A = this chain, B = another copy of it.
Amino acid sequence: MASGHAPAARVLDMGAMTEFDDAIAFVARADGEYAGHLPGTWAIGGAVNGGLTMALMAAVLGDRLGRNGGHVEPLALSAYFMSAASGDDVVLRTESLRTGRTMSTGQVTLHQQVDGRLVERTRATATFGDLARWSEPVLRGSEPPGLPGPDECVAATVQPVGFEVPPLMDRLDLRFHPDDVGWALGSPSGRGRLRAWLRFADGREPDAVSLLFFLDAMPPVAFDLGILGWAPTLEFTGYVRARPAPGWLRAEMSTQNVAGGLLEEDAVVWDSTGRVVAQSRQLAAVRFPPGLTVPGAASNG
């Protein structure tokens, strides 16, 4: 794929082919402003999935920065979530901060109408480039987790008792390692780890922009510690390390530090060749159930 034609620069009239392309379609207006629509069919817990929100923001910013220097694939993106986005129209505002020879950096903000005024939901700063330039050679890479085949894994329609399967799970084909679904059966492993196969339900192949969605598509890793419920992201930073090969992705989420109602969630995504293609860390807030003790909890502090 020529770098000048990487998939970030997708516009409305090229969409309508897949659910994801429809969801991240946009129209460019004047002065670096864009219009889009976050579909309610990608919601979870009443809010549109943050990964989809970031993918739309990356697609738009790639379009803006690509006009400067051909740098249309996200290498790094950091997003701060100020309020939850609803399934509704959005306005995106972009700013080009630096155009270099091999990378460009910019900012994008996502806004929605609330009571007649535009409210900024999410702000992202990001650096874009040509992934072909920034992914070879591989000198060192994390090994993918040992996962039974997708057909031996557990479909993500499992949910804790009392939880409904959110609309997002119809967009996604997500298959958990059988050892990592105890939380859905009332016996979380306490390891703070979720491993799964992932792909789009409609067969759309992964690309650089979609990896920002897949990094944030799994349930909260806190589930595996017995902390169920909504875990809003405060900050998320994702790195795209290579264009993914077609086929299933594998992902592992984990957390090591859970304190004061905050935890970090680390995600790694491998493509079908077993190569690391994306990694992320986010800081999320959780509400500790009264009296909760976590297996493996630190005694210090």
Contacts and interface: CB of A to CB of B under 8 A. Distances in A.
Nearest to A136: B260
Given A105-B82, A262-B241, A288 B256 contact: no
Interface residues of A, number: 60
Interface string A208-234: 000000000000000001000000001
Contact of A143 (B105, B120, B298): B298
Interface string A90-106: 00000001100001010
Nearest to A227: B139
A235 B76 contact: yes
B97 A301 contact: no
Contact of A281 (B97, B141, B237): B237
B105 A135 contact: no
A139 B76 contact: no
A175 interface: no
Contacts of A237: 78, 235, 237, 281
A30 interface: no
Given A127-B234, A301-B141, A260 B98 contact: no
Interface stretch (A20-28, A161-169, A269-277): A269-277
A269 to B, nearest CB: 11
A138 B136 CA distance: 40
Q: Which 7 A-B pairs have the closest CB atoms?
A: A141-B298, A138-B301, A78-B78, A275-B301, A140-B258, A76-B235, A134-B260
